Structure 1
Amino acid sequence: MTGASGFSYEERGNGTVVVTHRGRLAAQLRGARAEQFLAELRTENPQLVMARWTGNYRRGNERTARHHPRNSG
């Protein structure tokens, strides 16, 4: 399952869920965490859920930080 943001996931036979981002491993979930992840996927936007679970999401301050005097070198 792939979306516009590049996240995809694969459920494996042993109960493991592998999340990839643009073809690279982003997270590997097992047991209760994998079950919780799959439950969230059913109720929300899958791309946002995968971004949140892997820690790969924007925090909203990128534009502000770009214009900070320390970063304008």
Structure 2
Amino acid sequence: MSRIDKRNRLDENPFHYRIAKDQTVFIDYQGKLVKTLKGKEAERFLDKLKAAEDDKTVQLHLAKITGNFKRGNERNGRAH
């Protein structure tokens, strides 16, 4: 897995997930919601997480399901 996470960013556990009563999965990156999964997609994803051997594998699955959402052009939130 060292070739996938070259900068060891997943060691910091930037992703977290929550499961609602209706089995909807909410995925957060550094405390901000980035993806919501429902239905069959959520079921398949939860099965992958259950089969994961360690925390880094869980982080990798979370990173892959969110896709390439960070492009480097995000703002700090301050007014320009």
The residue that corresponds to 1:38 in the other structure is 46
- The answer to whether 1:25 aligns with 2:33 is yes
Q: Which amino acid aligns with 2:38?
A: R
Q: Which amino acid aligns with 1:47?
A: Q
Q: Which amino acid aligns with 1:33?
A: E
Q: CA RMSD in A?
A: 1.8
TM-score (norm 2): 0.62
Unaligned residue ranges in structure 1 (runs of 5+): 58-73
The residue that corresponds to 2:66 in the other structure is 54
CA distance in 1, matches of 2:40, 2:67: 19
- The answer to whether 1:4 aligns with 2:12 is yes
Larger radius of gyration: 1
How many residues get paired?
A: 55
Higher share in helix: 1
User: 1:13 aligns to what SS in structure 2?
Assistant: coil
Q: 1:16-46 deviations in whole A, cap 9, x for unaligned?
A: 0000000111110000000001011122311
TM-score (norm 1): 0.68
Unaligned residue ranges in structure 2 (runs of 5+): 1-10, 70-80
Moved over 2 A (4+): none
